Amino acid sequence: MPFLRSVLFSCLLLTGTGCSLNTSIATQEPATAAQALSPSEHANQLFDELFMEEVMLSPVYQTFLGIKTDQDKWDDISETGKERHQAMRLRHLKLIRNLDTSQFDEQTQLSYHLFLQNLENGIADYQWRHHTYPVNQMRGVHSLVPSLLINQHQIHDIKDAEDYIARLQAVPAYFDQLIDGLNLRADKGIIAPAFVFPHVIRDSRNIISGAPFDDGVDSTLLADFASKVAKLDIPSEHKKHLVLTTSDALLKQVGPAYKKLINAIEALQQRADTRDGAWKLPAGDAFYKNALQRTTTTTLSAAQIHTIGLEEVERIHGQMRDIMKAVNFKGDLQAFFEFMRTDKRFYKPESDIGKEEYLTEATALIDTMKLQLDAMFITKPKADLIVKAVEPFREKSAGKAFYQRPAPDGSRPGMYYANLYRMSDMPTYQMEALAYHEGIPGHHMQLAISQELQGIPKFRRFGGYTAYTEGWGLYSEYVPKEMGFYQDPYSDFGRLAMELWRACRLVVDTGIHHKRWTREQAIDYLAKNTPNPQGDVVKAIERYIVMPSQATAYKIGMLKILELRENARAQLGDKFDIRQFHDLVLKNGPLPLDVLEEQVSLWVKNTD
Report in angstroms the alpha-carbon separations of 295 from 3, 516, 546, 550: 11, 20, 14, 6
Helices (H) and strands (E) in the chain, counts: 28, 3
Query: Rounded to an integer, what distance in angstroms lies between the CA atom of residue 433 and that of residue 32?
Result: 51
In contact, 269 and 194? CB cutoff 8 Å? yes
At residue 233, the 3 state secondary structure works out as coil
When pLDDT is cut at 50, 70 and 90, the band that residue 22 belongs to is very low
What CA–CA distance (Å, rounded) separates 222 from 219?
A: 5
Contacts of 604 (CB under 8 A, 6+ apart): 567, 568, 571, 572
Residue-level pLDDT at 394: 75
pLDDT higher than 50, residue 71: yes
pLDDT, tens digit (0-9, with 9 covering 90-100), for 327-336: 999 999 999 9
Among candidate residues 546, 575, 579, 590, the one with its CA nearest the CA of residue 12? 546
Work out the percent of the chain whose per-residue pLDDT is above 70: 94
Instruction: Give the mean pLDDT of 146-162.
Output: 95
**What pLDDT, on the 0 to 100 scale, is given for residue 9?**
42
Which pLDDT score is estimated for 408? 81
Overall pTM surpassing 0.85 (yes/no): yes
The pLDDT of residue 35 is 66
d(CA 512, CA 193): 13
Position 454 pLDDT exceeds 50: yes
Q: Over 80: is that where the pLDDT of 400 sits?
A: yes
Q: Report whether pLDDT(30) > 50.
A: no
Lowest mean pLDDT among 18-27, 196-205, 472-481, 485-494: 18-27
Output the pLDDT for position 470: 95
Q: Give the Cα-Cα-Cα angle 26, 32, 38 (nearest 5 degrees).
A: 90
pLDDT band, residue 608 (cuts 50/70/90): confident
The b-or-e profile of 495-523 (16+ CB within 10 A means b, else e) is bbbbbbbbbbbbbbbbbbbbbebebebbb
The tens digit of pLDDT for each residue in 535-573 reads 889 989 999 999 999 999 999 999 999 999 999 999 999
Q: What is the pLDDT of residue 21?
A: 30
Give the pLDDT score at 590: 96
Distance CA 405, CA 532 (A): 27
Q: What is the residue-averaged pLDDT of the chain?
A: 92
Whether 552 contacts 316, CB under 8 Å:
no
Which strand (E) or helix (H) includes residue 407?
none
pLDDT at 155 over 90: yes
Residue 452 CB partners (closer than 8 Å, separation 6+):
381, 382, 383, 461
Cα(118)–Cα(464) distance, integer angstroms: 11
Q: 198-230 pLDDT, tens per residue? A: 999 999 999 999 999 999 899 999 999 999 999
Q: Above 60 in pLDDT, residue 1?
A: no
Predicted local confidence at residue 151, as pLDDT? 87
Model confidence at 532: pLDDT above 80: yes
Summarize pLDDT for 349-377 with one digit per residue, the tens.
999 999 999 999 999 999 999 999 999 99
* 65 vs 499: which has the higher pLDDT: 499
The pLDDT of residue 26: 45
Quote the CA–CA distance of 186 and 197 in Å, as a whole number. Answer: 14
User: Which one-letter DSSP state was computed for residue 464?
Assistant: -
Q: What is the pLDDT of residue 398?
A: 73
Report helix angle 284-296 to 302-326, nearest 10. 60
Tell me the β-bridge partners of 403: 416
